[in-house]
Structure 1
Amino acid sequence: MNRSSLGTRLATTTAVLGTALAAFATTGTATAAAAQPNGEWAPFTRCPVDAPAMLDADGLARTPQCVVSTSPNGSIKLGKTTVVTGRTNLQMGVVQNSDGTSSVVAPPAGAIIADSATVPGGLLGLMCPSNIPAITTICEQLSNSTLNKITATVESVGAPYDFDQTAGILTDLPIVAIPVRIHLENPFLGSKCYIGTKSDPIVLRPRNLEYPEFGMSFFKGDGTVTEDGEMSRINLIGATQNDSTFAVPGASGCGLGLLGIIDAAVNAKTGLPSAAGNNSLTLNDTRTHLAGLTAPGTVAPDAGRLLSQNWHSAVK
């Protein structure tokens, strides 16, 4: 199926997106305030329906949509370190513009929510052994598993961008760019140890390695399934996604007043910063859902306000 015919097909409903993002995630539980919508709205727990850009979408020049994409597991390689990933959840609002462009709106708490994970080997694996005396002293204390353990959590550092509405159903095309940083936590690392920063983030651009299974449903504003529903939901199920194009900056802010010594030790052991081509992300069994008004032009200029009203009517 070529891009032109695919774009025409999706335009009759609400277009599509497919992506999910991995975080370091094997243990713990994702934490974020989230609503619990009913019916077909159920996956869309954090859609920013009340953001001004969503509310102002008229349904003609600008069409509002909700997007959620999840992955249960996968892996990510940053420099010399590879971590098995667990549950991730990407949610955002998308405003499709009549000129073919789109704007992404992130939820207030950020687009990405992911479980934290334990980094294999902990500090012993991350920065030991070392020829730096201060680091050697720390390494000698790490037989205590509590002190050795490192948790790592992905954090959004800005709204996603470069969204391609058709790439989610095709293969080998970047779907969206998502800026993130990785928060490393351990008593010796302090509370401000990150790989990537707000000004120099890791930017992930996942793409499908195979075609996802395509499905569609129609439903009432409150989430009840019905063939003549005013709402529609596109479902893209089961694709493996990958990105091996991103660069990874060095760790920074690590250590309790050691003036960058721990930063240097972590970076030297893990091979950071790491240029594009040396890092990779794989997401298994991605599941993406996109919801929007079935015929947004018929409710112009109130499409955004109606989408918000419908979502709220489905929330428990």
Structure 2
Amino acid sequence: MRPFRTPYPAGGTRHRPGRRSLARWRRGVTAAMVAVLATAAAALPAQAAAPGGIYTGLDGCPVNSAVMKDPTHLQVGCMTSTTNGGSMTIGSHVVPITSPIRLQFGVYWDASAPVVDFPSGTTANVYRTVPPSKGQTLTSKPIEVDIPGIGNIIPGVTSVYADVELAGPITEFVPLAAGEPHPAFVMPIKLHLYNALFGLKCYIGSDRAPIVLRPTTGTTSPPPPAGPISGDPGVIGIEADPNGHETIVASFTDASLVDNSLAVPRANGCGLLGTLDPLINLVFGLPSAAGHNAVVFSDTDVSLAISPSLADLTSALAASS
């Protein structure tokens, strides 16, 4: 039998560090780690505190955007909104909105001073939008959608998860169209569908052929067979800057925006080489013409900060942090 060999030299002894030397070693390692972490932290850029008070939620305002810095703008600002309920109807199929949908972006009123005239005889500014400085313009969680005609036994297999994504920039932002039949904004979207069989690129709508939403807090005038439905601007408030800046904040609490004039295009990219597109089109009745679909954004809270000066807006946000 081959003898067992110790890893130590014959007649040698194994060195065991004493408790004191081991403790000193541990303290030295700990001190070195602390020094390294402190150096790394010092090298990181300082994070500015998020705006608070009447500016809460506007931390994504793109005040450093080159578009916002154009000195010819008559007004600049930033907006955030959260929709907590509602639904989307495609033909006879109703999909409830079960998780919050958030929008955030910057705005500017350009030198041409565009406005919209309302039937009531009043006018409102039409703003252009700028993507936020951090995060996405639209964020939401996927919504589970039952497949028509199939019992939902296994979520994600006998149902579909739909995620709302932008299919282009938000345009024609008219926040003071409150209660008027004019859209508050125009927003192209597409629905990203997730299912065990659909693959990763299954959509209803696309960047080239989006679902275009024109929601209003007033009363709609849809094509037949749909009839008019009404939104609600909610509780409207105007607050002046508490530190003396020219910036003001308009808020809309518990508002409801509606649109039943939208068309819903065909599915695309579902299954291998789009082989499941016809099946999705069949079960959801796609394409679905205008007058057969609707969207309702209920329990919506909006905060809009507006200033005649980008420097003033920037200072107001910083002072509230």
Work out whether residues 74 and 113 of structure 2, in 8 Å CA contact, stay in contact via their aligned partners in 1.
no
Q: Deviation per CA, 1:101-133: give whole Å up to 9, x if none.
A: 23221236542111211112xxxx25869xxxx
Higher relative contact order (CA 8 A, sep 6+): 1
Q: Identity, % of aligned pairs?
A: 30
Alignment of 1:187-266 (within 5 A): 187-208=196-217, 209-219=231-241, 225-226=242-243, 228-255=244-271, 257=272, 259-266=273-280
Match of 1:94 in 2: 107
- What residue ranges of structure 2 are gaps of 5+ in the alignment? 1-48, 115-126, 218-230
Q: Secondary structure at the match of 1:66?
A: strand
What is the TM-score normalised by the length of structure 2?
Answer: 0.69
Q: How does 1:145-224 map to 2 (within 5 A)?
A: 145=155, 147-167=157-177, 169-208=178-217, 209-219=231-241
Partners of 2:130 and 2:156 in 1: how far apart? 39
Unaligned ranges ≥5, structure 1? 1-34, 130-141, 220-224, 297-302
SS of 2:200's equivalent in the other structure is: strand
Instruction: Please tell me the residue identity of whatever aligns with 1:252.
Output: N
The residue type paired with residue 170 of structure 1 is: G
Displacement of 1:48: 2.3
Q: Is the 8 A contact 1:246 1:279 kept in 2?
A: yes
SS at 1:173 equivalent: coil
Q: What stretches of structure 1 move > 6 A for 4+ residues in a row?
A: none
From 282, 298, 314, the equivalent of 2:296 is 282
- Counterpart among 53, 60, 68 of residue 80 in structure 2: 68
Structure 1: distance between partners of 2:50 and 2:91: 38
Task: Give deviations 1:47-81, integer Å, cap 9, x for gaps.
Answer: 2222211122x3x6431111122211001112342
Distance 1:229 1:148 in 2: 55
CA contact (8 A) 1:171 1:211 kept: no
Tell me how far 1:40 sits from its aligned partner.
Answer: 1.8
CA contact (8 A) 1:110 1:156 kept: no
Q: What corresponds to 2:57 in structure 1? A: 43
Structure number with higher helix proportion: 1
Q: How many residues align?
A: 246
SS in 1 for 2:276: helix
Q: Cα deviations across residues 171-202 of structure 1 (Å, max 9, x unaligned)?
A: 32211100111111122111100111111111
Q: Which amino acid aligns with 2:235?
A: E
Q: Using the alignment, how far apart are the partners of 1:308 and 1:161 within structure 2?
A: 23
Larger radius of gyration: 2
- Counterpart CA distance in 2 for 1:197 and 1:313 is 42
